Amino acid sequence: MKNSTLVFRSLGIIIFLAGLAHLFSFGVEISDDNPVPTQETNSAPVEESEAATPSETPTATSANDPETDFLIDKWQVSYKTEDYNGAIIYDIKKEDKTFNAYLHQYVDQMGYAVNAEGDKVLTVTKFNGRKGKGIYTITYEGKQYEVACKIARVNENTFNLSYDYYGYADVETWKRH
């Protein structure tokens, strides 16, 4: 067998196997590709919003998991939309092995903060420390919608939360506050 054949066949095998491993590590989403909105509500009062239950059984974490527990903290997200221009600080807590995010503070462009009423806006239903999914409450033109979302860790202090609700898509960057 020619040396060039040996080289090309060997490289092909190595690229195929290494590529497969990288595909399964970085290319495969552990959640569904098509997030399904679970519930639609009209300007839900606080009680109703808090009472809303996610459609999936939480399976996220063990009691103490250093790989996922980095989420427990306050996180800041900046918005610049017609509805809201400023930042919102969320408080993520671990409750019964599930991570929940609550509204903590509204911060305007000048940096003035107003305490929020503590509505629950996010329930993380699955998270492996790197990727996950959950149910996120978004407000659009005065209406609240519960949509499936994906979470992707960027680093220890940043993760991205993305959703796509009938074409209304966004990626929020949550930074440790």
Binding residues for other proteins, rule: CB under 8 A, are 1, 6, 9-10, 13-14, 17-18, 20-26, 28, 30, 128-130
3-state secondary structure 52-63: CCCCCCCCCCCC
Q: Minimal distance in Å, beta carbon 99 to other proteins?
A: 17
Nearer to other proteins, 22 or 93 (CB): 22
* 161, HSE (Cβ side, Cα atoms, 13 Å): 23
Q: Minimal distance in Å, beta carbon 63 to other proteins?
A: 15
Let me know: does 72 contact 102? Beta carbons within 8 Å.
no
Q: Minimal distance in Å, beta carbon 50 to other proteins?
A: 31
Query: Residue 60 has which token pair?
Result: 């996220």
Q: Minimal distance in Å, beta carbon 29 to other proteins?
A: 8
How many whole angstroms separate alpha carbon 113 and alpha carbon 145?
A: 25
Nearer to other proteins, 17 or 72 (CB): 17
Query: Residue 48 has which token pair?
Result: 């109703």
Nearer to other proteins, 94 or 126 (CB): 126
Nearer to other proteins, 25 or 42 (CB): 25
Nearer to other proteins, 26 or 166 (CB): 26
Let me know: does 44 contact 152? Beta carbons within 8 Å.
no
Instruction: Report DSSP state, residue 165.
Output: E
Chain centre distance of CA 122: 8
Q: Minimal distance in Å, beta carbon 144 to other proteins?
A: 31
Give start and end residues of each alpha helix (H) in 23-69: 46-51
Q: Minimal distance in Å, beta carbon 27 to other proteins?
A: 9
Give start and end residues of each alpha helix (H) in 1-155: 3-22, 46-51
Nearer to other proteins, 37 or 129 (CB): 129
